[in-house]
Amino acid sequence: MKNHYETIIIGAGFGGLNAAIKLGKKKKDVLIIDKTNHHLFQPLLYQVATAGLSPADIATPTREILKDYRTITVIMDEVLNINKEKSLLKTKSKKEISFKNLIVATGARHSYFGNDQWQKFAPGLKSLDDAIEIRENILNSYELSEMASDQKEVDALTTFVVVGGGPTGVEMAGAIAEIAMKTLAKNFTQIDPKNSKIFLIENGDRVLSSFSSDLSDKAKSDLEKLGVTVKLNTNVTDINNEGVRTEDSFISSRNVIWAAGNEASPLLKCLDVELDKMGRVFVKDDCSVKDFPNLFIIGDAAAFKEKERYLPSLAPVASQQGKYVAEVILSDLKNKKREAFDYLDKGTMATIGKRKAILEVRKIKISGFIAWAAWCFVHILFLVLFRNKVSILMSWTYNYFTGKRGARLIKARESAFTAD
């Protein structure tokens, strides 16, 4: 392996991968560094967490995606420090690698707003490990409920609390409700999963606040029809092994899921530049860092201001920035003037459950089946490999007609003794 590359990309998410492919097509010298060996399709991560999809459905080996680009090197490592003055980075494997251009696309993690002790009791949802942990907590709770003799314990095990009313929180709450009311409805004899309680807690005055108020109201109504109790204008004050405490009540629960906030990678702190409250780097209109035109920050790691607003942490933003930055690097080789990044907003969408979704594209607002069908089509379209497209389409079709979910194994808690 070399110790110098023309372009180094940290992170193989939507931003990093799109930048790499564009540079790879021009046969440019590129190194991708990622802590995992796969590209994760995060918009469908909640479906792994709710047993709708298997991990392999939404995670694709990075090397497989980039196998046709022979000038791109991929290594599984972690960057620990970036020296922007010397154009040098250091990795966990003790490698020192220099670069001409650096693209930082490290994504984000969930933030507990200074209450990191809550993470033990309320996992967030940003990685495959997170999704598998949540899935097994949900499924194992029903298994324990079947054996429990104390009704209070059964109630705590079958009460689910999702904190945060953004897209992830809404999608999680809706999916858990469908598991309880449909998927597991006839699977147990000692308990009735339909008696499960699902709470969605949001400290604002509406869910999905990035959408128009009428679509937010529609989403709330759809959640309530599924059996979700939506608590607005409610602040969480404590989370422990017994449940969730708010300003005015306590919810006894063994299943709390955190979807209330994000923070950028701590790696960005080593750049010694100005960060916003989410830990993102304030970048220029070409996605570069002030005084360092060869250092680009994109996706969830960047605080990019456009038309008096900061771009949201969405996959389309990262994807477009990745392609844009790659084009900037190619243009620099020709001494062309850099044009400012211009985000093309193709709209936003969120799904609440089967046949229930909302979609907003500028002044166009759609809800119900049409929005849900569009949501399904768009997510299938943007999956990287054909195998994933087929696998997910088959899983969704099966679930649509049967209400069943196929990825319901509890592998982490398998007994040491198995039946012959």
Distance, in Å, from the CA atom of 34 to the CA atom of 74, rounded to the nearest integer, reads 8
- The closest alpha carbon to 169, from 136, 203, 120, 194, belongs to 203
Give me the catalytic one of 64, 96, 143, 171.
171
Q: Pseudo-torsion of CA 97, 98, 101, 106, nearest 10°?
A: 30
DSSP symbol at 336:
P
Place of tokens 């392996």: 1
If residue 365 lies in a helix (H) or strand (E), which one and from where to where?
A: strand 364-367
C-alpha dist (Å) from residue 139 to 58, 144, 229, 251, 409: 20, 9, 21, 20, 8
DSSP-based three-state secondary structure for 330: helix
Whether residue 96 contacts residue 309, with contact meaning beta carbons closer than 8 Å, is answered with: no
- The closest alpha carbon to 288, from 335, 229, 332, 240, belongs to 332
Distance, in Å, from the CA atom of 267 to the CA atom of 53, rounded to the nearest integer, reads 31
- The closest alpha carbon to 31, from 85, 96, 81, belongs to 96
Active site residue 171: yes
Residues with Cβ within 8 Å of residue 331, at least 6 apart in sequence: 337, 338
Q: Which residues are catalytic?
A: 171
